[in-house]
Structure 1
Amino acid sequence: MSSARLGTMGGGATLPTVTALLSLGLCWDLWGHIQAGVLPKSSIWADPGPTVTKGSPVTIWCQGSQWADVYRLYKRDASRLWETKTPQDSSNMVGFFFKHSSSDTAGLYQCAYRRGTRWSEWSHPLPLAVTGMYREPSLSARPGSLVLWGENLTLQCHSEASFDRFALTKDKGLITPLRLEGQRSPDFPLGRVNHSHGGSYRCYGGHYHSYTWSAPSAPLDILITGMYKKPSLSAHPGASVPWGGNVTLQCSSETWSDTFLLSREGSLSPPQHLRLQDTAAPFQANFTLSPVTSANNGTYRCYSSLSTSPYLLSQPSDPLELLISGSSEDRLPPTAESGPQTGLKSYLNVLIGVSVAFILLLLLLLFLLIRHQRQDRCMKLVAATSVPKDRGQQKRCCRERHRAGGQQTAGQSGCRT
């Protein structure tokens, strides 16, 4: 019988009854606070958000009763009153402004308001984190940033600094950070990926009992493949290209696509992106490699995507093996020796040859100068006296002149026996 009555009360009668009960409960709860002399708790939040960059401004808002006389902001971890403010124009909220965020700004905040002689309950705690206080870590993905739908993915945050904990965020902090304690290079296992895992990730390093964090790592884009039908990949003029030549890799899709990506197997660089300006058929993009070197050797695959969902890609195209033939030496003119090293060697050889020739010439000039000086001394000696006092000296002079001239006789040279 009673259940039948409840059945007939369903519909129009049930909703007003529940609403009345909820209203009665809320009124009773408020009346209980008034009777106890305690006002309902205030609300607290941070603008632009609970995580701010070092040096940037932030405002902590506290909202309470419209008839509140004063608001107080407490920093709980500092165990002290931070600031007191009076609302303006009967507003039911006040803002506590910090012009430059720093390590002193980071912490756990609560606020309360007073009306007359009664104070409200404390608000819920607001953790305010400040990033950029330490050097950024690095973020990597295993098996890679291109992940097939359903594969397991692990992100690793690594730092040389002695951080006690790490946090991982996705798409500018739109998800709650994950924390791993006491690991120098922690792994963040994301499990089997689906479309929700695609996005841009960053990681931070921090310390225990602190609301300060490092600067964010460089963004790591996780791309989920296998969402659409695979495109085709071809090489023009062909997959075998001479060293220094040009090749165009063309990625074509049968379905509507406006973004194409090209990746090389084993490359640590992110895939190349091309966005189509003209979205009319055919849907294809040309990736030009010029000039090619041995570094372009490898297996290539391409993907198609939509700009509205940039982290969701098609299945990979069939692999294309690109072979670069020849080497840099094959492109040089046919000379016996060429290149920077050969040119330097030739220059050194010329320099040594010139130096040796200069030294030999200098020695020859020195020899001629000494010979000329000795001949002049003998001539002066003969001219100074017809009968030299020192006949031994005269004989030595004559012998030197005889060896030097060879053709003059003793009489012609002025020498006497």
Structure 2
Amino acid sequence: MTFTFIALLCLGLSLQHRTPVLAGTLKPILSVQPDSVVSVQTTVTFLCEETTGAQEYRLYKNGNPRLQEIPPNPKNKAEFSISKISSQQAGQYTCQYWTYGAGWSQQSNSLKLVVTGAYSKPRLSAQPSPVVTEGGKVNLLCESNQWYHKFILTKEGPHKQSWTLDPKYDYNTKQYYALRHVGPVTSNQRWTFRCYSFDSKQPLVWSEPSDRLELLFSGTLHKPTIKAEPGTVVAYGSPMNISCQGTQDAEMCFLHKEGSQQTWGTQTPKESGNKSTFSIPSVADYSGGNYRCYCYSSAGWSERSDTLELVVTGFYDNKPRLTALTRPVVTSGGNMTLQCVSWVGYHNLILTKEDQKFLSSLNSQYNRSIGQYQALFSIDHVTPNHTGTFRCYGYYQQRPQLWSVPSEPVEIHISGLSKKPSLLTHQGHILDPGKNLTLQCFSDINYDRFVLYKVGETDFTQLYGQRTQSGLSFTNFTLDLVSRSTGGQYRCYGAHNVSSEWSVASDPVDILITGQHPDRPSISVKPNSTVQSGDNVTLLCQSTYTADTFILSKEGTTHQLQKMKSKSQDGELQAEFSMSAVTSAHSGTYRCYGSHDSSPYMLSYPSFPVELSVTGHIGASSPPPSSPLPTAATALEYKDHTVENLIRMGIAVLVLIVLGILVFDAWGSQCKAHHEAKK
């Protein structure tokens, strides 16, 4: 037996020298870069690594040798690169190496290379929402409108997972879909998913990946700040940004729109202050809604941000109309009512103020008297904070973030308790078309600016004030080329630059425009055009045309006019203006005009003038006529008159002095001649 063993041993040794054998259990390690799932056109590199110093390497696909490399220097590894990979190169890859004396090694473990992009991408969503709670569960829905035999759901990140799903067909949506229940999920990591589809005949050739789906958590870290730029009310088609500012260590921020089954956007904070900016190049109808943002760092998830409501305006073309039922200038502490009216039956009408998102929203009500839908917005106890520009919009309840185009703006101003200025007209209250009109607003308060407002309109004219040496502040509002539209009632206000509040309104000034009706009334004096002081006089205005009111004016006065309702008498309309105990101050030229109640500032042509002459003296028992006292309206004129009078007095004194010198010289000459004659 010893001989037999030795013979067999020698035979074995001799065979070892003549026939190479496989290197036992040694086999290389095969890896691929950048990943085992790549899109078409990607450059892929396979790495085949061993430890014995091989002289040759081979790469196999599906068991068939594909590439061979003989490294110039032993590196214990080989690199096989495939540029612009295609779906035909998807498959199972292995590699092996060859060494002198040992021959070919075992083949490496199989590595599957998946190539994506062969089909259009499916859609991935979270049911009911990607926002989940700690330990919660969520359904992930992968769907496509194309027929595929299988779906692949993958979880990305350090803890990769994948699930192969069989599709079903939904006859209502005409979509193929697969549903996967995932959970429980925890907030100590990110849960990021994608979905693919593939044909079971080519299991390693997949579709394009779905958009990435991130599950969002409300954690315990400091919540980020969300903001819309330029604002939360944005016109349809306009660009805008939504920014999310997290803590300094935030690695990723996510924007989510309420009701959406997907994450709206993902950003790595890049800007100063760790702010992520999500841009909307053109706001559309689907942009409206409630948004929140979430941030993730190595320490975990932040709390969710506050809600940002984004409203899209201009989606509906029918714009409402906004008016101030009282007037657009309201006394501080008073009440204000704004009326929003629309021909279209919007469910709600909403009132906004400048940069504020909204002030109030009301259900619209149908007003039969005007045949339109309306809402009345009442604001009690207004303050200077209510000063500003208001607009109203309409919207429907099922889409509350989609508004109509805005109404025309209405500007509201609040007048306070500071002293009212005075308003006067140098041209009188009754003007012919084509003339110029200057209204002067002034005060003994040093207002920085004055505002002229025409009652019934929403526009204001605002000018900086000037100051006189006597301490008065004033400005002149010049209205060129008087026309029908100039007629109306005017008030002015004073204001300081440091406050948005206006003063109390001035007393009103009525501006009346002549020639706006074709009739011309007549005027007569009873008992006579020449009367004695102390007599009673009646000025009678008459017209055969329609005239609801008669206006009596006297030339050369800027005081407010006398008005009287007309009465019918003997087929004519008339009004009697009575003056008792007249004085010489009543003497002058009088005219009368007619007006209609529907347009009280539009007058007829003037009557032909009539002269009233008051003669004689007032009896001893009658008080002497008092000189007219200067009013606030003439205060600015006194300074100019005073200077003018002083100049005149100076010239008169100078003339008297010269005359005195001449008279004295002439008198001296005569005395001298007389004295010489006596000699």
Tell me which interval the TM-score lies in, with the shorter structure as reference length. Answer: 0.5 to 0.7
Match of 1:212 among 494, 501, 508: 501
User: What is the alpha-carbon distance in structure 1 between the residues aligned to residue 454 and residue 328 of structure 2?
Assistant: 15
The structure whose Rg is larger is 2
Please state how far the C-alpha of 1:103 moved relative to its aligned partner: 3.6
Task: Please give the alpha-carbon distance, in whole angstroms, between the structure 1 residues aligned to 2:542 and 2:381.
Answer: 51
Following TM superposition, by how much is the alpha carbon of 1:143 offset from its aligned partner in structure 2, in angstroms? 0.8
Aligned to 1:247: 537
CA deviations 1:75-110 (Å, max 9, x no partner) are: 96xxxx99999999xxxxx99986422345546799
User: What does residue 432 of structure 2 align with?
Assistant: 148
CA contact (8 A) 1:107 1:210 kept: no
Preserved contact between residue 128 and residue 211 of structure 1 (Cα < 8 Å): no
Gaps of 5+ in 1: 1-23, 89-93, 112-118, 333-338, 340-417
AA aligned to 1:276 is: S
**Number of aligned residue pairs:** 292
The residue number in structure 1 matching 2:567 is 277
In the alignment, does 2:466 pair up with 1:188? no
Distance, in Å, in 1 between the alignment partners of 2:391 and 2:519 is 53
- 8 A Cα contact 1:107 1:211, kept in partner: no
Partners of 2:549 and 2:328 in 1: CA distance: 35
**What corresponds to 1:139 in structure 2?**
423
Q: Write the mapping of 1:195-344 to structure 2, written as runs, cut at 5 A.
A: 195-208=484-497, 210-227=499-516, 228-278=518-568, 281-329=571-619
User: Relative to structure 1, is the Cα distance of residues 221 and 109 closer, same or farther in structure 2, using a 3 angstrom cutoff?
Assistant: closer
Cα deviations by residue, 1:219-258 (Å, 9 ceiling, x for unpaired): 1110111233432222122111112112222222243323
Identical pairs, percent:
36
Q: Secondary structure of 1:196's match? A: helix
Q: Specify the alignment match of 1:401 in structure 2.
A: none
Q: Is the 8 A contact 1:257 1:279 kept in 2?
A: no
Task: Tell whether the 8 Å contact from 1:263 to 1:272 is kept in structure 2 after alignment.
Answer: yes
Equivalent AA in structure 2 for residue 156 of structure 1: Q
SS of the residue corresponding to residue 563 of structure 2 reads: strand
Matches within 5 A, 1:174-185: 174-183=457-466, 184-185=473-474
Structure 2 counterpart of 1:217, which letter?
Answer: S
The TM-score normalised by the length of structure 1 is: 0.56
Q: Secondary structure at the match of 2:485?
A: helix
- The question of whether the paired residues in 1 share the 8 Å contact of 2:547 and 2:594 is answered with yes
Aligned equivalent of 1:398: none
Kept after mapping to 1: 8 A contact 2:533/2:616: yes
Normalized per residue, the structure richer in helix is 1
3-state SS in 2 of match to 1:295 = helix
Q: Which amino acid aligns with 2:312?
A: P
Matched residue, 2:172 = none
Question: 1:200 and 1:36 mapped to 2: Cα distance?
Answer: 47
Greater RCO (Cα-Cα under 8 Å, separation 6 or more): 1
Equivalent pair of 1:46/1:58 in contact (CA under 8 Å): no
TM-score (norm 2): 0.36
Question: CA–CA distance in 1 between the matches of 2:339 and 2:525?
Answer: 59
- The one-letter amino acid paired with 1:154 is T
Q: Deviations over 1:171-221 (max 9, x none)?
A: 24x230111124331111111111111111111111225321011111111
Cα 1:232/1:50, change in 2 over 3 Å = closer
Render the CA deviation track for 1:328-381: whole Å, top value 9, x for unaligned. 13778xxxxxx9xxxxxxxxxxxxxxxxxxxxxxxxxxxxxxxxxxxxxxxxxx
Give the Å deviation of 1:129.
Answer: 2.6
| Change over 3 Å in CA distance of 1:223–1:97 after alignment to 2 | closer
Letter in 2 for 1:224: I
Task: Say if 1:223 and 1:311, in contact at 8 Å, map to a contact too.
Answer: yes
CA distance in 2, matches of 1:259, 1:61: 31
Aligned-residue CA RMSD in angstroms? 4.7
Contact 1:258-1:279 at 8 Å conserved across structures: no
Give the letter for the 1:40 counterpart: V
Q: What are the ranges of 5 or more consecutive residues in structure 2 without an aligned counterpart?
A: 1-235, 239-281, 292-309, 341-345, 364-374, 393-400, 467-472, 625-679
1:55 alignment counterpart: 333
SS at match of 2:418: coil
- Other structure's SS at 1:329 match: coil
> What is the Cα deviation at residue 147 of structure 1?
0.7
Relative distance call for 1:249 and 1:279 in structure 2 (3 A) is closer
